[in-house]
């Protein structure tokens, strides 16, 4: 069929399309570039955070610390917890500050140092202790330990040990919210070591392209197991990686819970209003080894001494006292209530039954495990003949 007068021939259209695709894109202008910004810590933000919120932040940091101390310093040392035992001592302000800034229907992708997320979202302390103790009546039915748990009804999404794997998944949740037109966001906590993995870049790239309502919070505690941050990346700050995705990168003092809260509020509002993702880097320090079995002998002792003076709970208590919002009685009453609730929850969990061995494979496969169901090819005559020949040989 002859083309209509004035119509472009297919070959010409294809050539034009290729030329357009290969044409150099306009350079990003100075105004369009996004660079990392710094949220300065200190008491300059006094009054920016309401009194009731500040007191809430203080209480949940103390509750988180007491819960993890009971888990690691008592139950684990007593041999009642087996396997890995990870805590976020000295880093509580990051999780608490961010979760406090969320709305009820937002979702959280936590990591192994985010106990505060589970507590703030309403997961019972008994459930948390029972999980660490491997009891039967837990979200994982005793098949997994430590913080490998979640509860979708509370907006807590489970995670696995490969911490950057939730970066694209958090983007996927945000994509669903955007498609549905829901004013919800997702947030993902991860360590600085995770930002050197491929799934981190893939997830951020996807989130940035589609301007998804997701915020990534990097807990930069200076050590990825035994590797110091300067041997992990060639940039000074994790947030320096944000401009590559043309998204804001924010650096905040992770040991200042109010500074974290304010930085999170700004990023969350940006995401919720269609402004896309933000990468928040919280500077902090890991005041323990990688896990309870690690003595952190590779970390210079003076670093612990320096960062102990920056403890987020001590700093917050001092600040609240200076404002006249708390006194000795207030702190004493709070500490007593927290210790009582933690002790009672731990004792209840210790009295709960362990899983029965017959339940080992329940929930692992969609049907009860049988070799012929999972590996049907093993039932073929050909397979059996090969096995018999090998056995005779």
Region class of 41: left (phi > 0), else alpha (psi between -120 and 50), else beta: beta
CA atoms within 13 A on the CB side of 336: 6
What one-character DSSP code corresponds to residue 131? Answer: H
Asked if the model's pLDDT at residue 42 lies above 60, the reply is: no
Asked if the model's pLDDT at residue 170 lies above 50, the reply is: yes
How many residues would you count in the chain? 393
Rounded Cα–Cα distance for residues 65 and 113 (Å) = 11
Asked if the model's pLDDT at residue 6 lies above 50, the reply is: no
What are the catalytic residues?
286, 290, 298
Render the burial of 123-153: b for 16+ CB within 10 Å, e for the rest.
Answer: bebbbbbbbbbbbeebbbbbbbbbbbbbeee
**Mean pLDDT value of segment 7-23:** 44
% helix, strand, coil for the chain, step of 5: 50, 10, 40
Lowest-confidence range among 118-132, 169-183, 355-369? 355-369
pLDDT, position 171? 97
Q: pLDDT exceeding 90 applies to what percent of the chain?
A: 49
Rounded Cα–Cα distance for residues 126 and 349 (Å) = 6
| H/E run at residue 228 | strand 227-228
The whole model's pTM is what?
0.81
Rounded Cα–Cα distance for residues 149 and 175 (Å) = 23
Who has greater pLDDT, 145 or 8?
A: 145
pLDDT, position 387? 52
**Mean pLDDT value of segment 49-72:** 94
Asked if the model's pLDDT at residue 369 lies above 50, the reply is: no
Asked if the model's pLDDT at residue 322 lies above 60, the reply is: yes
Asked if the model's pLDDT at residue 16 lies above 60, the reply is: no
Q: How open is the CA angle 199-205-211, to the nearest 5 degrees?
A: 130
> What band does 29 get if pLDDT is binned at 50, 70 and 90?
very low
> What band does 379 get if pLDDT is binned at 50, 70 and 90?
low
Who has greater pLDDT, 158 or 350?
A: 350
Rounded Cα–Cα distance for residues 275 and 263 (Å) = 15
pLDDT, position 376? 53
Q: pLDDT exceeding 70 applies to what percent of the chain?
A: 80
Architecture of domain 31-355: 3-Layer(aba) Sandwich (3.40)
Domain boundaries in the chain?
A: 31-355, 361-393
- Which residues are within 8 A (CB) of 220 and not within 5 positions of it... i.e. 6 or more apart? 191, 192, 229, 238, 254, 281, 282, 283, 284
């Amino acid at each position: 069929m002859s083309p209509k007068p004035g119509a472009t021939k297919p070959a010409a259209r294809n050539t034009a399309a290729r030329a357009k695709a290969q044409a150099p894109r306009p350079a990003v202008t100075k105004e369009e570039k996004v660079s990392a910004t710094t949220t300065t810590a200190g008491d300059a933000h006094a009054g920016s955070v309401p009194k009731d919120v500040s007191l809430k932040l203080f209480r949940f940091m103390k509750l988180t610390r007491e819960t993890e101390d009971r888990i690691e310093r008592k139950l684990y040392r007593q041999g009642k917890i087996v396997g890995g035992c990870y805590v976020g001592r000295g880093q509580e302000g990051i999780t608490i500050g961010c979760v406090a800034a969320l709305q009820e229907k937002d979702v959280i992708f936590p990591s192994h140092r985010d106990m505060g997320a589970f507590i703030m979202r309403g997961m019972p302390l008994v459930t948390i202790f029972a999980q660490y103790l491997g009891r039967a009546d837990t979200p994982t039915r005793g098949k997994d330990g430590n913080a490998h748990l979640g509860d979708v009804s509370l907006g807590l999404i489970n995670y696995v040990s490969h911490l950057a794997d939730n970066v694209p998944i958090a983007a996927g949740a945000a994509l669903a919210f955007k498609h549905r037109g829901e004013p919800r966001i997702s947030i993902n906590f991860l360590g600085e070591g995770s930002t050197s993995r491929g799934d981190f870049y893939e997830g951020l790239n996807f989130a940035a392209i589609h301007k998804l309502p997701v915020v990534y919070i990097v807990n930069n505690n200076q050590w990825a197991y035994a590797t110091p941050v300067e041997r992990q990346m060639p940039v000074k700050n994790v947030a320096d990686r944000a401009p590559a995705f043309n998204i804001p990168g924010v650096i905040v003092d992770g040991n200042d819970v109010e500074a974290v809260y304010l930085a999170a509020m700004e990023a969350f509002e940006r995401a919720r209003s269609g402004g896309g993702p933000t990468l928040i880097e919280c500077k902090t320090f890991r005041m323990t080894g990688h896990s309870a079995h690690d003595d952190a002998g590779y970390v210079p002792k003076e670093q612990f001494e320096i960062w102990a003076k920056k403890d987020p709970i001590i700093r917050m208590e001092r600040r609240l006292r200076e404002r006249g919002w708390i006194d000795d009685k207030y702190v004493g009453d709070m500490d007593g209530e927290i210790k009582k609730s933690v002790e009672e929850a731990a004792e209840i969990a210790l009295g709960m039954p362990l899983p029965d061995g017959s339940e080992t494979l329940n929930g692992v496969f969609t049907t009860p495990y049988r070799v012929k169901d999972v590996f049907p090819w093993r039932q073929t005559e050909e397979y059996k003949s090969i096995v018999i020949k090998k056995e005779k040989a």
